[in-house]
Amino acid sequence: MELKAKIILISLILLVVAISFIIKGQSITGNVIGYRYSFTKAVCNESNFCQDYEISCNGNQTISRTLISRAVVQFSDTWTDPRTPEFINKECENYS
């Protein structure tokens, strides 16, 4: 396939993708409403025992917190969590 045909094909693909985002009412930059996503978060207790959880969200609403099995660590008594309180307490956020 010659270069000009490849450029035209790529341009058409990008145009179709852009149109599909416009039709769905969402912009390519991530303007979303009711967006479902998940992230992992280490939750530590007062004895520095930390477990990873998967936090599932719909916008800023928490749908579930699921323990990730075998994703645990026990830190020493002198360990201090380096994360900021805002990060430690982070929950689902609305990214719209």
Instruction: Based on the fold, state whether residues 49 and 87 are members of the same structural domain.
Output: yes
Q: What CA–CA distance (Å, rounded) separates 14 from 16?
A: 5
38 shares a domain with 14: no
pLDDT of amino acid 23: 65
**What is the model's pLDDT at position 35?**
79
62 and 84 fall within a common domain: yes
- For the segment 55-79, the average pLDDT, to the nearest whole number, is 92
Output phi, psi for 34, to 5 deg: 70, 35
Q: Judge if 40 and 25 occupy the same domain.
A: no
Residue 29 contacts residue 49 (beta carbons within 8 Å): no
Look up the pTM and report it: 0.58
Domain extent, residue 11, equals 1-31
Nearest to 62 by CA among 37, 86, 41: 37
Question: How many domains would you assign to the chain?
Answer: 2
Residues 37 and 77 in one domain: yes
Residues 52, 12 share a domain:
no
User: Pick from 42, 29, 38: which is nearest to 58 by CA?
Assistant: 38
